[in-house]
Structure 1
Amino acid sequence: MGNHHRFLGNKNYQTVEQCLQSLNRRHAELAPLAAIYQEIQEAEQAIEELESMCKSLNKQDEKQLQELALEERQTIDQKINMLYSELFQSLVPKEKYDKNDVILEVTSGRTTGGDICQQFTREIFDMYQNYSCYKHWQFELLNYTPADYGGLHHAAARISGDSVYKHLKYEVQRIPKVGLSSRMQYIHTGTMSVIILPQPDEVHVKLDPKDLRIDTFRARGAGGQHVNTTDSVVRLVHIPTGLVVECQQERSQIRNKEIALSVLRARLYQQIIEKNKCQQHSTRKLQVGTRAQSERIQTYNFTQDRVTDQRIAYEVRDIKEFVCGGKGLDQLIQRLLQLADEEAIVELLDENLKSPK
């Protein structure tokens, strides 16, 4: 009799108290969905009443009242569509990192592309800076390593704002397929990578100074010449993981160290996230890619004025407008988010259907 408090209906719960706590949590999760569904039912009932009213009209009042009823019907239909969209978004599993700020890194392909690829890397970095302005986000330059002829080897920036990681988490690689020079047209293929790292709070990633090797040296310009006379460049090596971060953006060694630490924390945080997301297949399907040409994510065909996202078979015309980082890029990102949400819902339904009853 000493175990009279045990709840035997479900082996997952050891006590009645634990069962009640779980039910309360579940109620809190479902209550918003139930409220939305109730609003939908009320709106559909209002449409039925409108239709019933229209059937009972006499000929004298029919035309004017039917026009008013049609306007009311359109308003209710819009509300129902909005409620269904809200219901769908409520069902999509949320990622706790979606609201995070990010660190953006772009890197030109090391073995392919040459000057054209480096120039394209600069254009893509500028595109994200323009997109940040379009979305009213803050864009803080962290590191910028220029190449010859106006190109870019590598750059990093911190982007802060409303749900930045949610919008940029699928931006992982781009490939300029066809390049154009000012004097002649030629076919050229190269690669560059885009890495989006959610920006952690310091409490999320703790760095032990014993795990760091810190090197300092003088900054070099695009042609290899020294550009200052002090050892302001900082390179951090995280010994346990082998991660390397270098910063020469500022003239101050202290400031460059702070920036490098920020980027290193973000990279370590990304590793933690990847471990936690190994079960989230929809995210893994879209967020793949390296700088290898065999793993194309997006292709830019300048002679045909076309951008193609291979993951979702999505094409955008007018590359010049697209790389300005405005509406065209935002439409592609919104399409990626929509498809990722649909995949997440399908997986959620599959898991629930497969789970034992």
Structure 2
Amino acid sequence: MKKTSLIKKLEVYKKEFDEISKSIIQPNIISDEKKYKILLNKYKKLEKIVSIYEKYKKKLVFLKEINFILENDSDTEMRELALTEKHKVLSNLSSIEKESYNLLFSSKKESEYQIDSEDHRNAVILELRSGTGGDEACLFVEDILRMYTMYFKKSGWKYKILHVQKGGTKGYKEVILDINGEKGVYGNLKFESGVHRVQRIPKTESQGRVHTSAITVAVFPRVKDIEVNINLSDIKKDTFRSSGSGGQHVNKTESAVRLTHIPSKITVECQEERSQHKNFEKAISVLRSRIYQREKEKRLKKISTKRKSLVSTGDRSVKIRTYNYPKNRVTDHRIHKSIYNFSEFMNGNIQQMIDMLKFFEKK
């Protein structure tokens, strides 16, 4: 979210705070014990937000002064000093923003945020696929896979890889995972669906040019068989030899399974288990989730004009995030928010971004 948008939101709370400040000193309010307590509680909560608002405004004014020096001052020493101060201010602003989002987000009752009735689901299917960029995109799938698995561990969630297709030289063309955790796994991961773009200098680039590659991420709630009834006569089953892990076993038996749902033409592969039966069960689970998601997207498209949502119809062709390695920056384009702790983000510390997405979806 742009800084001006956050300021506007904080200004609304500041205005409410000023009004309550005037009200609670009025004799008719003081004499009404019940009303006075209600207003006093609001006053105390808003006081924290207003304090952050004042601090945030001062930092923005200071940043404006620094930018003026950088743009107009020809003194090298002064510019270097201003640049050092700018980095400090940007870091301070990021911390204040995080504090603001946490405070504003926690100040609302959870019931006010149940826009997506599926946010509570504790099991999801997550799919990563390489897009434009060839081998570099496959490498980025591997990087994002690492980022997510570290996030799962920090969140106390369990995950299992259902399917892997390796890239031409390194990395992965496709990875499918099954994630389980406590309530709200889907409510956190649903924002990850879309195109993730990376800008960096590939190791094979001799002239130091920055290349842009992209991968797609898809997140589906894992659904039960009673929610999506699949007629087995509508499924075409193919078996083949696994190309994944398994040692000599992969060359001897056709344990890998490919399922095609004829009515929807959705195809699913699973090859991570030694048993064809287990691969079939997992493939059915993924197929069921994809069919469910497709029907859900159809429903959302019908009501998309009535519903303001960051996830909208779940269109996975939309570019949602850019990972810029040279500038040490991760930017989410839906809320125009950048995070500069790049290494921490890639090490699984993505909850701050998810919390901001949650907050601005419901505002």
Q: TM-score by structure 1 length?
A: 0.67
Pairing partner for 2:184 from 163, 180, 199: 163
Residues of 2 paired with 1:319 and 1:213: CA distance? 44
Shift of 1:204: 0.1
- Classify the secondary structure of the residue corresponding to 1:262: helix
Gaps of 5+ in 2: 1-19, 31-39, 49-102
User: Given the alignment of the two structures, is residue 120 of structure 1 paired with residue 146 of structure 2, yes or no?
Assistant: no
**Aligned residue for 1:96?**
117
SS in 2 for 1:283: coil
Contact kept, 8 Å, 2:125 with 2:179, in 1: the verdict is yes
**Bigger Cα displacement from structure 2, 141-150 vs 114-123:** 141-150
Give the alignment of 1:136-151 within 5 angstroms.
136-151=156-171
Aligned in 2, Cα 1:84/1:99: closer, same or farther, shift over 3 Å? closer
Deviation at residue 260 of structure 1 after TM alignment? 0.5
Seen in structure 2, the aligned counterparts of structure 1 residues 86 and 309 have a Cα distance that, compared at 3 Å, is: closer
Q: Name the residue aligned to 1:282.
A: 308
**How far apart are the structure 2 equivalents of 1:97 and 1:90?**
13
Runs (5+) with no aligned partner, structure 1: 1-43, 56-72, 343-357
String of CA shifts for 1:92-121, please: whole Å, max 9, x gaps: 443221111210000011xx2111110101
In 2, the alpha carbon distance for the partners of 1:313 and 1:87 equals: 23
Aligned to 1:301: 324
| Contact persistence 1:171–1:287 (CA under 8 A) | no
Q: Establish whether residue 256 from structure 1 lines up as the match of residue 279 from structure 2.
A: yes
Alignment: residue pair count = 269
SS at match of 1:189: strand
State the alpha-carbon separation in 2 of the partners of residues 180 and 254 from structure 1. 41
Instruction: Give aligned-pair identity as a percent.
Output: 33
Determine the C-alpha separation between the residues in 1 that align with 2:106 and 2:352: 18
Measured on the aligned residues, the alpha-carbon RMSD in Å equals 3.2
- Retained in 1: the 8 A contact 2:191–2:311? no
After superposition, residues 203-214 of structure 1 pair within 5 angstroms as 203-214=226-237
CA separation of 1:83 and 1:133: change in aligned 2, threshold 3 A? closer
Q: Map of 1:31-50 to 2, 5 A cutoff?
A: 48=24
Deviation at 1:285, TM superposition (A): 5.6
Q: Higher mean Cα deviation, 278-287 or 203-212? A: 278-287
SS state at 1:150 partner: coil
1:134-180 CA deviation, whole Å, 9 max, x = no partner?
11112122112222443011111111122011111111220112233
Structure 2 vs 1, CA of residues 286 and 272 (structure 1 numbering), >3 Å: closer, same or farther?
Answer: closer
For residues 275 and 139 of structure 1, the distance between their equivalents in structure 2, rounded to whole angstroms, comes to 28
Match of 2:129 among 94, 107, 111: 107
CA radius of gyration, larger in: 1
Determine the C-alpha separation between the residues in 2 that align with 1:198 and 1:301: 29
Q: Which amino acid aligns with 1:131?
A: Y
Aligned to 2:172: 152
* SS of residue in 2 equivalent to 1:246: strand
Seen in structure 2, the aligned counterparts of structure 1 residues 169 and 248 have a Cα distance that, compared at 3 Å, is same
Residue 181 in 1 paired to residue 203 in 2?
Answer: yes
The CA deviation at 1:248 is 1.0
Say whether the 8 Å CA contact 2:119–2:187 is kept in structure 1: yes
CA distance in 2, matches of 1:80, 1:91: 22
Q: Is the 8 A contact 2:310 2:361 kept in 1?
A: no
Q: Do structure 1's residue 267 and structure 2's residue 290 form an aligned pair? A: yes
Which amino acid counterpart does residue 279 of structure 2 have in structure 1? N
Partners of 2:211 and 2:274 in 1: CA distance: 37
- Other-structure match for 1:77: 44
